[in-house]
Structure 1
Amino acid sequence: MRLLIVLAHPLADSFAASVAATTKAALEKNGHSVDLLDLYQEGFDPRLTEAERRGYFDIPYDTTAVDGIVARLRAAEGLILVFPQWWFNFPAILKGFFDRVFAPGVAFDHEQSGGRIVPRLTNIKLFWALTTTGSPWWVVKLYMGNPVRRLLKRGIAAFCAKDVKFRMISLHDMDRVTAKQRQAHLVRIEKAVEQI
């Protein structure tokens, strides 16, 4: 299987980078083809331009500025996002990735009569999110309603790819976990990824 890992963390020595490296190694060990897209290292600009927004309903939509990344997404059969949750949301660079790359003509088409969107990422069969939160699980799930999971599963995955296998694995309370707990989480990730 061809998988695209998208890493969204500014620090090369972050725990997110360790999760991405562990994931990549486990996938390659099992014979999968892996493309690691480190948004910060590759200098991705998350800002939707004026021209991109003005042309949002043009057919075809102009993806020239992100064509390289669009090609990588189209070549993938699976997408794995690796990122921390900040303020119960995506890092800005990952939100910009969705805004600019999950565009009309790429991730979806506008229905001709207006209103609904038609999924286009038919190549994506697997959509995972590997993430961390600074808050305890009960704050994320019970108090906040798990907003990132909801957005990914009910919004982005459901509206862009049909019958996609969605999974989210989170390490909560990241600011207080020990080195031993971080290592145990990497082992958990490795075991989960080995099932792909």
Structure 2
Amino acid sequence: MDTLIIYCHPYAQSFNHVVLERMQSNLNSQGINYQLIDLYAEHFDPTYSAEELSLYHQGGTVDPLVRKYLALLKSCQTVIFITPCWWNSIPGMLKGFIDKVMKEGSNLSHTVTRTGIKGLLTNVQHCYVLTTSTSPTWYLRFFCGNAIQRVFVNTTLKQLGFEHRKWLNFGEISWSSPQRRQRYLQKIAQYRFK
């Protein structure tokens, strides 16, 4: 598998869902082999149980989706996240995905050393984070702490070993015109990956 899409939105009539459909059409037209993780449709539970957390340092899990998702992450070269930006950051569902799926262990997602985290998902050579937000992108960057770029993209994903990370945000979605939305969707439909 070349590419893994991680989709995080509960509403099938959302603009994010249209972005997902355009992305899938794009990848199909380029002949790129991909797999989709739809966190809400697959009923992923983003919360830790006491039993799940007790297995963390052994790299274990009681959730079969965690094993499936980690195996997919370890076998792809490109990861594409499609998610809204809620309250200036990623949704709780996506945060829970990172919390539960990224397992510590020598053949898992990372190890912890005295100097920090050593990411083991270095097979991911390209990562794209596509978000939508009510706030303008400049407002997220300069007045809200730039959490998507600074924390999620440049820290968390970097620590896990992801290379060549890029964030694309469609801001002011609530006030966007149909024409602006169409221009963005056309860009997604024609985007060349890698």
Give the TM-score normalised by structure 2: 0.91
| Residue of structure 2 in register with 1:49 after alignment | 49
- Return the TM-score normalized by structure 1: 0.90
Measured after TM superposition, the shift of residue 152 of structure 1 is 2.2
Asked if 1:183 corresponds to 2:175, the answer is: no
Aligned to 2:61: 63
Query: Could you list the runs of 5+ residues in structure 2 that have no partner in the other structure?
Result: none
CA distance in 2, matches of 1:138, 1:167: 16
Residue 12 of structure 1: how far off its partner (Å): 1.2
Residues 1:64 and 1:70: Cα distance change in structure 2 (over 3 Å): farther
Q: CA deviation at 1:63?
A: 3.2
Identify which range, 73-82 or 46-55, moves more after superposition.
Answer: 46-55
Contact 2:104–2:111 (8 Å) recurs in 1: yes
Map of 1:173 onto structure 2: 172
Question: How far has the Cα of 1:171 moved from its partner?
Answer: 0.5
Q: Structure 1: any 5+ residue segments left out of the alignment?
A: none
Q: Equivalent residue for 1:86?
A: 86
1:36 CA drift (Å): 1.1
What does the per-residue CA deviation read over 1:44-87, in whole Å, with 9 as the maximum and x for residues that have no partner? 110122123233323xx103411111122122111110000010
What amino acid does structure 1 have at the position aligned with 2:6? V
| Alignment of structure 1 residues 105-116 onto 2, 5 Å | 105=105, 106-111=108-113, 114-116=114-116
In 2, distance between residues paired with 1:115 and 1:56? 20
What is the Cα-based RMSD across aligned positions, in Å?
1.6
Residue 170 of structure 1 aligns to which amino acid in structure 2? N
Distance 1:62 1:8 in 2: 24
AA paired with 1:53? L
CA distance in 1, matches of 2:126, 2:137: 24
State the secondary structure of the residue aligned to 2:56.
Answer: coil
Query: What is the match of residue 12 of structure 2?
Result: 12
Runs of 4+ with deviation above 2 angstroms: 51-58
User: Which whole-Å CA distance do the structure 2 matches of 1:10 and 1:195 have between them?
Assistant: 26
| Corresponding residue pairs, total | 190
